[in-house]
Structure 1
Amino acid sequence: MENQPKLKVCGLTKLDQIKELIDLKIDLLGFIFYDKSPRYVLNHLSLKQISEINHRGKVGVFVNESIKGIVEIASEAQLDFIQLHGDEDEKYINLLRQMIGENVKIIKVIRIGQQNIEELQKTINQQSETVNYLLFDTDSKAFGGTGKTFDWNILNEIKIPIPYFLSGGISLENIDQLTTISHQPIALDINSKFEIEPGNKNLEKIKEFLSLIKNEKSSI
């Protein structure tokens, strides 16, 4: 696993698909706890059902949720990672860290849109030191999966002080372009490009993608 990125499949809603993904040794399983999302997991699974999924890479995705709400959900669903996809600031994240402890890792999403390199770098530099990972995604008004990529060359022009996830429109068609990034992501986050409909994953496409990133020497 030294040179190849981990894989996170986000927006999961179906237990049978989750079991298949675990059999495929998918590294990270993403559950969206944002009720405006078409992939809102609590419309499909209970916190108890999520807690019973035997996997060490369960990621809860939250958007401007109360800290108390996150702590309760993380505990009841036995989450391993918290992904913050909203406007959570340093003060918020520091308080969340105090309440959630050190064992649960925090991923902070940075949405890339029209800002210039200096603005983007400033946003990165302002992140709480308690954040474990950054995640770069395409900006959208809806706080979530646009299925669109941003210009990955931007990542070559900024300093990224901690490991990061790459998200936003990653697909079978553009996976080869990852080689243009000098500072490689620790993980790739896939969602809408690998679905039949929101929350219903196309497992054959995921298997194909997995074989590409695991086996092709030229990929990463």
Structure 2
Amino acid sequence: MIPRVKICGLNGPEAVDAAVDAGADLLGFIVFENSPRAVTPERAGELAARKGAARSVAVLVDPDDGLLARVREHVAPDFIQLHGKESPQRCAEVRAYAREGVWKAFGIGAAADLDAARAYEAHCDGFVFDARPPRGADRPGGWGAAYDWSILNGYESARPWLLSGGLTPANVAGAIAASGAPGVDVASGVESSPGVKDLAAITAFVKAAKAARGQQT
């Protein structure tokens, strides 16, 4: 099975085009003002129009209905990824604003953290397992921090999931092997500075991830 690849935090047309040309499966647009990769719903819509055969993902943090309506109007995302403290019931409600479904992100630091996802399986269409944010952080992800990816080895779910947190073109193959991940999600690991995508790194990341087989069958 070839791993699914998401390039997240896209905020410019050149980076979107690089991700599409490289064969990324999912394109993430972060609509959250605290992120150095933040875009407005209007800008996200302009960028998502370049997605080609890829799927668009609007990444939101505890969004209210007003923001969700703007995202649906301007982006019409294939998926919405929720990266806040949303309850299972809230995730189910948000499904109405996406074309294909809702994904929920979780911060992982120990095997016990995976238990939180169990309560969401009936309400979400997929998961993203990221590193826990540092203490006092003003945003829940995108810090480029790695963790023990082997925590996820053997994890079984009725839903697809993506490995995130500290991934780069140089380590993504090893991360897939260590975790058995069916897909990967990267933001800061393909940047030259926070919020500035490195086009060559995007291409290299997708190539390395797609070539990896790890422990998948």
What is the TM-score of this pair, normalised by structure 1? Answer: 0.84
In structure 1, what is the Cα distance between the partners aligned to 2:170 and 2:22? 21
- By how many angstroms is 1:72 displaced? 2.7
1:66-215 matches, cutoff 5 A: 66-97=64-95, 99-100=96-97, 103-113=99-109, 117=111, 119-140=112-133, 141=137, 142-156=139-153, 158-175=155-172, 176-181=174-179, 184-215=180-211
Tell whether the 8 Å contact from 1:51 to 1:76 is kept in structure 2 after alignment.
no
Tell whether the 8 Å contact from 1:80 to 1:105 is kept in structure 2 after alignment.
yes
- By how many angstroms is 1:48 displaced? 4.5
In structure 2, what is the Cα distance between the partners aligned to 1:48 and 1:214? 27
Q: Which runs of 5+ in 2 are unaligned?
A: none
**Bigger CA radius of gyration:** 1
What CA deviation, in whole Å up to 9, does each residue of 1:9-50 have, x standing for no partner? 11111112212322222211110000111111129x625513
The one-letter amino acid of 1:191's match is: A
Superposition CA RMSD, Å: 2.4
Report the number of matched residues.
Answer: 210
Q: Which runs of 5+ in 1 are unaligned?
A: none
Tell whether the 8 Å contact from 1:27 to 1:57 is kept in structure 2 after alignment.
yes
What CA deviation, in whole Å up to 9, does each residue of 1:147-167 have, x standing for no partner? 011111211365433210110
Greater than 4 Å deviation, 4+ residue runs: 216-220
The one-letter amino acid of 2:167's match is: I
In structure 2, what is the Cα distance between the partners aligned to 1:47 and 1:69? 13
- By how many angstroms is 1:71 displaced? 3.4
What is the TM-score of this pair, normalised by structure 2? Answer: 0.85
Change (3 A) 1:209 1:160: same
Tell whether the 8 Å contact from 1:17 to 1:201 is kept in structure 2 after alignment.
yes
Aligned to 2:50: 53
The one-letter amino acid of 1:131's match is: C
Identity %: 27
Aligned to 2:37: 39
In structure 2, what is the Cα distance between the partners aligned to 1:120 and 1:218? 23
What CA deviation, in whole Å up to 9, does each residue of 1:33-73 have, x standing for no partner? 00111111129x62551353243411110011113422331
3-state SS of 2:115 partner: helix
Change (3 A) 1:208 1:219: farther
- By how many angstroms is 1:132 displaced? 0.6
In structure 2, what is the Cα distance between the partners aligned to 1:19 and 1:203? 9
3-state SS of 2:59 partner: strand
- By how many angstroms is 1:219 displaced? 8.4
Change (3 A) 1:219 1:212: farther
In structure 1, what is the Cα distance between the partners aligned to 2:39 and 2:163? 22
3-state SS of 1:120 partner: helix
